[in-house]
Amino acid sequence: MAPDLREFVRDVPDFPKPGILFRDLTPLMRNPEGWQEVVRQLSAVCERLQPDLIVGIESRGFIVGTALATAMRLGFVPVRKPGKLPGQVTGVDYALEYGSDRLEIQSDALADGSKVLIIDDLLATGGTAAACAELVAAAGGELCGFGFVAELAALEGRRKLPDGHPVESLIIYS
Chain centre to alpha carbon of residue 140: 19
**Range 49-173: architecture per CATH:** 3-Layer(aba) Sandwich (3.40)
Tell me the torsion sign for CA atoms 94, 88, 84, 59. Answer: positive
158 carries an active-site annotation: no
CA separation for the pair 118, 135 (Å, rounded)? 11
97 carries an active-site annotation: yes
pTM for this model (two decimals): 0.96
Looking at 6, 58, 60, 102, which residue is catalytic?
Answer: 60
- Of 71, 70, 77, nearest to 53 by C-alpha is 77
Band of the pLDDT at 117, cuts 50, 70, 90? Answer: very high
> For residue 1, what pLDDT is reported?
84
Contact indicator for 160, 139 with CB cutoff of 8 Å: no
Looking at 30, 58, 73, 97, which residue is catalytic?
Answer: 97
- Collapsed DSSP state (helix, strand, coil) of residue 33: helix
> For residue 97, what pLDDT is reported?
74
Contact indicator for 25, 122 with CB cutoff of 8 Å: yes
> For residue 2, what pLDDT is reported?
87
